[in-house]
Structure 1
Amino acid sequence: MAQSLIGGLIASGYNKQNIIATDPTEAQRNSVTQNFGIHCLADNAEAIQRSDIVVLAVKPQVLESVCHSIADAVQAKKPLIISVAAGIRSDDINRWLGSNTAIVRTMPNTPALIQTGATGLFANTFVSNEQQSQAEHILRAAGITVWVDEEAKLDAVTALSGSGPAYYFMFMEAMEQTAQTLGLDEKTAHLLTLQTALGAAKMALESHQDCATLRKNVTSPNGTTERAIQSFENAGLHQIVENAMKAAQTRAQELADELGGKA
C-alpha cells in the first residue's frame, strides 16, 4: 500500500524529493530507493522529524508497537498522522501516540495497488481543514476517496469496498466455471467474464443512472436476462449479499476491539 501511494503521488506530479519512506530491512530500503528515487531510512523518528505528514502503512497487528516507538517523535513534531492499517480506531492510535494527535484513519482496498482503489476516510477532531485536504490528496493517488462523518461508518466501508473486490472475484469465478459447464473453453470463459465485468463497471461509472435502472435497461421482457434475474431473485440474492456484508461489518468491529482494546 505504501508503494502504491508513493507511485501514485509521483505519477501525479508530486515532487519525489518531498517523500521519505522508512523500512527496517536494508534490501527493501534499497529497492524503494531504486524504484522510486526517494530517500528511504531505517529510523522512523528521523523521518518524522523531517515530515509534516506521516503515513502509517503497517500491518494492524504491529501498529501498536510502531506507535509506541514513535510517540516521542510525534509529540515533538505534531505531524498529521494518516493510518492505512485496517481496523484500528483513531482513539486507540491517539492513545498509543500520546494525546491531541491529528489523525486521519483510512480504509482503502486492494485495487489501490493499481491506482483504482476506493478509500473511506475519517478525521478526528484534531485534524484541520488543510490537513483534511492533504490527506485526501495523498489517498487520491491510489483512486477515489470518500469521507465519513462517524468513524463507525468505516466498518460499513470495510464491508462494501474494503472486502468488496473479493465478492466480485467470487461472482466472476462462478460465472467462469458455469460458462465452462455450458461448453465454453477455459480461456474464452475467462476473457468474456473479465470483459463483461469491466464493461458493466465502466457503464455504471459513466452513466448518470443508478444500478437498478441500468439493470432494468438491459433486461428485456421475457428474454434471457430476465429469466436469469428471476432465478437470482428466487434464490434470495439480495438477502445473501446483505447477510454477507453484515457479517463483514461485524468482523470489522470485532477486529477493532481485538487489536485496539489493550491500554
Structure 2
Amino acid sequence: MIKNIAFIGAGNMAGAIIKGLLEQNYPAASIQATTRTTASAERAAAELGIHTSTDNRAAAEWADVIVLAVKPQMLQATCEGLADSINTQLIVSVAAGIDTASIARWLGNEVAVVRSMPNTPSQVGVGASGLYANTRASAADKAFAEQIATATGLCVWVQDEAQMHAITAVSGSGPAYYFLFMEAMIRAGVKLGLTPDTARQLTLQTALGAATLAGQVDVPVDELKRRVMSPGGTTERAISAFEAGNLPQLVEQAMTDCAARSQTLADELAK
C-alpha cells in the first residue's frame, strides 16, 4: 500500500525508518521529511534521497500519514503547530512516553493515532517495535502503521496502552542491557588473557549466535541454556555464579524500575 508519508523530524529513528522503507522499494516521491533548519534539511535530503523542508504544515497537508519523530519534550508544541493542518491523516508517533490521548488532544482530538516504541537496532534493520492504536484508528490504519514499523524489523501490538511501559522495559531499553553484558564479557575476556579485539569479536559473535539460534528453533530459552550445560562442567560453574549473585532477580528489578520510570515520564510529559 502506497500513501504519502511526512516525517516530522529527520533524526536517527526517522532516518532508519525512511531507509527501511526505501530498501523495501517504497517510492521516494511518496516520502517527505522536515527538520528545524535549512542546513539540516539539506543534509537529510542528500543522505536519504527524499524531499525535505523546514515547513511542518506544508508537509502535513501533503501527507496521508504523518510520522511524529521529534523529541518528546518538543511534541506538544509541534502538534499544536500542526493542528490546523490535520484533516483525515493517520498519525504515527515514535516519540517515547507520550500517550495517544495527549497527542490527539494537542492535534484536536478527532484523529487516528498509532503509538510506536522502536529501539536503536532499528537503525540496522533488526529493530523491535511495540504498537498501540487508539479507537479512531481503523484496521487499514493499523495495517499501514505495521507496514511502517516492519520496515526496520519486528513489531508487536498491545491492546492496553499501559503495556507500552513494559515494551519500553523489554525492547525499548533492552539493547542497553545487552550492551552492558557484552561490555562486562569483553572486559573479563581481556583479564583472562585475550586481546581486546579478540574478546570483542568473540563476545559479539556469541551474542549474535545465541539470539539467532533462539529465534530459529522451537525450543524455550531455558532449555537452550540447559543444553549448553554439562553436569559439573564449565558452563554450569558460570551459571551457578550468576545465580548466586541473584542475576535473574536483578534483571527483574531493573526492568520493573525501567517501566516505573517510563510511567513517571509519561505522566510528566502529558501535563
* Common fold by TM > 0.5: yes
Moved over 2 A (4+): none
Q: Tell me the CA shift for residue 37 of structure 1.
A: 2.3
Q: Tell me the CA shift for residue 139 of structure 1.
A: 1.0
**Cα distance between partner residues in 2 of 1:46 and 1:151:** 31
Q: Tell me the CA shift for residue 105 of structure 1.
A: 0.5
**Cα distance between partner residues in 2 of 1:208 and 1:26:** 51
Provide the residue aligned with 2:249 in structure 1.
239
The one of 14, 18, 21 aligned to 1:9: 21
**Cα distance between partner residues in 2 of 1:65 and 1:29:** 20
Provide the residue aligned with 1:69 in structure 2.
81
Matched, 1:254 2:267: no
Provide the residue aligned with 2:64 in structure 1.
52
Q: Tell me the CA shift for residue 36 of structure 1.
A: 2.5
Unaligned runs of 5+ in 2: 1-12
**Cα distance between partner residues in 2 of 1:149 and 1:219:** 38
The one of 135, 151, 165 aligned to 1:155: 165
**Cα distance between partner residues in 1 of 2:17 and 2:103:** 21
**Cα distance between partner residues in 1 of 2:50 and 2:194:** 48
Matched, 1:86 2:96: yes
The one of 42, 45, 51 aligned to 1:30: 42
Q: Tell me the CA shift for residue 245 of structure 1.
A: 0.1
Q: Tell me the CA shift for residue 38 of structure 1.
A: 1.4
**Cα distance between partner residues in 2 of 1:185 and 1:37:** 41
**Cα distance between partner residues in 2 of 1:27 and 1:220:** 59
Residues 102-121 of structure 1 correspond to what in structure 2 (within 5 A)? Answer: 102-121=112-131
**Cα distance between partner residues in 2 of 1:152 and 1:93:** 15
Q: Tell me the CA shift for residue 136 of structure 1.
A: 0.3
Matched, 1:229 2:239: yes
**Cα distance between partner residues in 2 of 1:39 and 1:180:** 48
Provide the residue aligned with 2:30 in structure 1.
18
Q: Tell me the CA shift for residue 146 of structure 1.
A: 0.3
Provide the residue aligned with 2:212 in structure 1.
202
CA-to-partner distance for each residue in 1:4-28, whole Å, 9 max, x for gaps?
Answer: 1111000001111111111121112
**Cα distance between partner residues in 2 of 1:36 and 1:184:** 40
**Cα distance between partner residues in 2 of 1:25 and 1:213:** 53
The one of 227, 230, 236 aligned to 1:217: 227
The RMSD of aligned alpha carbons is: 0.9
Unaligned runs of 5+ in 1: none
3-state SS of paired residue (1:212): helix
Aligned length: 259
CA-to-partner distance for each residue in 1:190-212, whole Å, 9 max, x for gaps?
Answer: 11111111111111111111111
3-state SS of paired residue (1:71): helix
**Cα distance between partner residues in 2 of 1:17 and 1:58:** 22
3-state SS of paired residue (2:194): coil
Provide the residue aligned with 1:132 in structure 2.
142
Amino acid at match of 1:116: V
CA-to-partner distance for each residue in 1:106-159, whole Å, 9 max, x for gaps?
Answer: 111011111111000000000000010000001111111000000000100000
Matched, 1:191 2:188: no
| Identity %, equivalent residues | 49
**Cα distance between partner residues in 2 of 1:68 and 1:34:** 29
Amino acid at match of 1:244: A
**Cα distance between partner residues in 1 of 2:36 and 2:181:** 39
